[in-house]
Amino acid sequence: MKYAPLLLAPVLMIGCVPQSVSAPSLALNCENAICRANQVCVEGECVDESQVNLGTDGGSTTGDAGGSSTGDSDAGPQTSIDAGGGTITPRPGGDGTQRDRAARSCQDLLAAYPGTESDDFWIDPDGEDGPAEPVQTYCGMEHDVGGWTRVARVMYGDEVWDAWNDRVGRAFNGNQSWGLPLKWFSDSEDGEDLEIIVGAVETAQGEYYIGPIFGDVNRRAWQPGVSVGEEIDDGFYFREEDEENERCEADLWRRNARWSWAISRGENGCSGWSGGGGFVLYGSDQEPENAYSLWGLYAFGSGNRGSRFGAVDLWVRRR
């Protein structure tokens, strides 16, 4: 497993290929505006060149092809991006720079605004008409073509929750656990349309370590106490950055109540918890529901000893 740098803010995601396009300007006028490629500034707003009509007086107005005027720089879905073997068309949403311009996810943001760099953005996973309020979180845009939304962080020793259904704490709330429901970012009832990265802060592997990219993982993997001792699923897909998916055939399970979040079966191999490619966030005999050690991810658990950590992050993107 390669240690692709994925340091995110407050642990920053630093990619192998630096991006050069600045975020949209929030300037009130065009004097200090910094717009993207193929955009110009009109009355303090960065808009697509295709929306700008030059008047006979040399001024500028924005409009659609039919000539109607608009001040909204959201031109709708513009492109699609590779998403681990497929492409997506971005769902309607803004550029994430303000609460009322929230994107549906970091993946939708990158698809609609190619070249967006890793940063904090406003995300509204169920859109303007959904009950969930927009939230600000961190988008990782360089790793594996980008579009990763950080949806959860559990601190060492804290109680682990049902990450599929529950919202916990508040993003960026100091050194405290928080999480957004994974179901907000999935278009399927079982959650198997998501790709997931597990990141670990302050382990023996260094300041920040990432495991393989998981896909086709059933939602029950993120629900502590569900199906203990019973089969959760029959396998998953996994890959390293920029590589093709491989299928891991395994009767996944939650071996006991100490397996809070779990994508694993057996000690070794692609689903192994003892240094293999699986993943288990493990509790203790006294507090089985709390996070005390990390296993799998091709880095932890060898010799039947899990690793301590500072925090564990979950990142998601639709397949």
* Residue 271 falls inside a structural domain: yes
Q: What CA–CA distance (Å, rounded) separates 142 from 64?
A: 32
* Residue 17 falls inside a structural domain: no
115 alpha carbon, distance to own chain's centre: 17
**What does R_g of the chain's alpha carbons equal in angstroms?**
21
Which of 72, 106, 132 terminates a domain? The answer is 72
For the chain, the distance separating the N- and C-terminal CA atoms, rounded to the nearest angstrom, is 21
* Residue 191 falls inside a structural domain: yes
Q: What is the reported pLDDT for 232?
A: 94
Are residues 156 and 302 both part of a single domain?
Answer: yes
Q: How crowded is residue 220: how many other Cβ atoms within 10 Å of its Cβ?
A: 21
Question: Which run of H or of E encompasses 125?
Answer: none
Are residues 222 and 303 both part of a single domain?
Answer: yes
Q: Lowest mean pLDDT: which of 16-25, 44-53, 96-105, 153-162?
A: 16-25
Q: Tell me the backbone φ, ψ of residue 296, rounded to 5 degrees.
A: 85, -145
Q: What is the reported pLDDT for 47?
A: 55
Are residues 209 and 182 both part of a single domain?
Answer: yes
Are residues 248 and 305 both part of a single domain?
Answer: yes
Q: What is the reported pLDDT for 148?
A: 97
pLDDT exceeds cutoff 80 at 197: yes
* Residue 253 falls inside a structural domain: yes
* Residue 172 falls inside a structural domain: yes
Are residues 41 and 96 both part of a single domain?
Answer: no
Are residues 45 and 182 both part of a single domain?
Answer: no
Are residues 221 and 306 both part of a single domain?
Answer: yes
Mind listing the pLDDT tens digit for each residue in 25-55?
Answer: 222 344 444 445 555 555 445 555 554 433 3
In sequence order, the 6+-apart residues with CB closer than 8 A to the CB of 44 are 25, 27, 28, 29, 30, 33
Are residues 61 and 86 both part of a single domain?
Answer: no
Grouping H, G, I as helix, E, B as strand and the rest as coil, residue 144 is helix
* Residue 14 falls inside a structural domain: no
Are residues 140 and 168 both part of a single domain?
Answer: yes
Are residues 58 and 149 both part of a single domain?
Answer: no
Q: What is the reported pLDDT for 45?
A: 54
* Residue 18 falls inside a structural domain: no
**What's the total number of domains in the chain?**
2
pLDDT exceeds cutoff 60 at 299: yes
Both structure tokens of 83: 């998403």
Both structure tokens of 64: 């659609």
Are residues 124 and 210 both part of a single domain?
Answer: yes
Q: What CA–CA distance (Å, rounded) separates 306 from 284?
A: 11
List the alpha helices (DSSP H) in 26-149: 106-112
DSSP 304: G
Residue 39 sits in which domain range? 25-72
Are residues 132 and 189 both part of a single domain?
Answer: yes
Q: What is the reported pLDDT for 177?
A: 96
* Residue 9 falls inside a structural domain: no
pLDDT exceeds cutoff 90 at 140: yes
Q: Is the Cβ–Cβ distance between 283 and 265 less than 8 Å? A: no
Q: What CA–CA distance (Å, rounded) separates 231 from 264?
A: 10
Grouping H, G, I as helix, E, B as strand and the rest as coil, residue 82 is strand
pLDDT exceeds cutoff 50 at 133: yes
